[in-house]
Amino acid sequence: MLLYYQFIHRDLAARNILIGEDNMAKVSDFGLARNISGAEEYIRNNQNLLPVKWMALENLLHGRFTTASDVWSYGILLHEIVTLGEEPYKNISPHNIAIHVGSGCRMSQPSQCSDELYEIMTNCWNVEPTERPTFEDLHQTLHDMLMGDEKWYINITQAVNERSLTTTMEPRSLSAENGSVNA
């Protein structure tokens, strides 16, 4: 939908996705969004702070933002969803992300992530923007995966229980029994 209105978001991340009625996911926080009407890209011309762990290599190195940059961020967003909100590149300093990503390093496949879904993520993280899938491609691929085969679904209660056995969920913890969040 952003592409339809000729916008690039520049901050696609789990923190900016709201779930509405009928489990409809909606993108929020358009503070970094830019209108690219009549242009293929937006070139950053200031030094404002940006969410570097979600940014594509061309953003980090050249300040160039395109729809393909948002696709990269979408791959990070998918990783966040599958890991129940784990910070991307959690052991890498924001100052070292460009070096890390530029050397070809990507986040590893989460244990609860299918090979097919991880392949979608890695396609989103292709160093060459023109080789990344489009949002239309992603929509169709994910739609085809999710319609009709339950193997693509994650049992959230089970995932939360497994995570709580291996990590501390501070400052919040999820109660698997009633689905409530305790702060």
Alpha-carbon distance of 14 to 12, in angstroms, equals 7
182 lies in a domain?
Answer: no
Looking up tokens 């530029």, which residue turns up?
102
SS3 3: coil
Asked if 53 and 76 touch (Cβ cutoff 8 Å), the reply is yes
Q: For 14, which DSSP code? A: G
154 is a domain residue: yes
Considering the domain boundaries, does residue 177 fall inside one? no
Residue 10 confidence (pLDDT): 72
> Is 175 domain-assigned?
no
CA separation for the pair 87, 4 (Å, rounded): 30
Q: Is 180 part of a structural domain of the chain?
A: no
Q: Structural domain tally of the chain?
A: 1
CA–CA gap between residue 6 and residue 17 (Å, rounded) = 19
Is 132 within the bounds of a domain? yes
Take residue 16 and report the two structure tokens written for it: 């900016």
- C-beta of residue 172 within 8 angstroms of C-beta of residue 183: yes
Give a yes or no: residue 61 inside a domain: yes
d(CA 17, CA 25): 6
Compute φ and ψ for 162, nearest 5 degrees. Answer: -65, -40
Active site residues: 11
**Assigned domain for 176 exists:** no
Q: What is the mean pLDDT of residues 89-101?
A: 92
- Provide the pLDDT for residue 1: 44
**In this structure, what CATH number is given to the domain that contains residue 83?**
1.10.510.10
Residues 34-75 have pLDDT tens digits of 455 454 444 445 555 578 898 899 988 888 888 899 999 999
Out of 35-39, 171-175, 177-181, the most confident range is: 35-39
Beta strands per DSSP E along 44-125: 64-65
**Structural domain containing residue 157:** 2-165
Q: How confident is the model at residue 137 (pLDDT cuts 50, 70, 90)?
A: very high
pLDDT value at residue 177: 42
